[in-house]
Amino acid sequence: MDIVVREIEEKDYPSVLSIGNRELGCTNSIEEVRDHYARIRDNECYKNFVAVLDGEVVGFISAVWAYGMGQEVGFLHIVALAVKAERQNRGIGTKLIEQIEDYAKEKGIGNIILNSRIQRTDAHAFYKRRGYDNRAWSFSKKL
Sorted by where each begins, the domain ranges of the chain are 3-129
Q: What one-letter code names the amino acid at 68?
A: G
Q: What is the pLDDT of residues 61-85, one digit of tens each?
A: 999 999 877 767 789 999 999 999 9
Kind of pairing between the strands at 56-66 and 75-83: antiparallel
Q: What is the mean pLDDT of residues 94-115?
A: 94
Supply the pTM of this predicted model.
0.89
Domain 3-129: CATH superfamily, name plus number: Gcn5-related N-acetyltransferase (GNAT) (3.40.630.30)
Q: What one-letter code names the amino acid at 92?
A: I
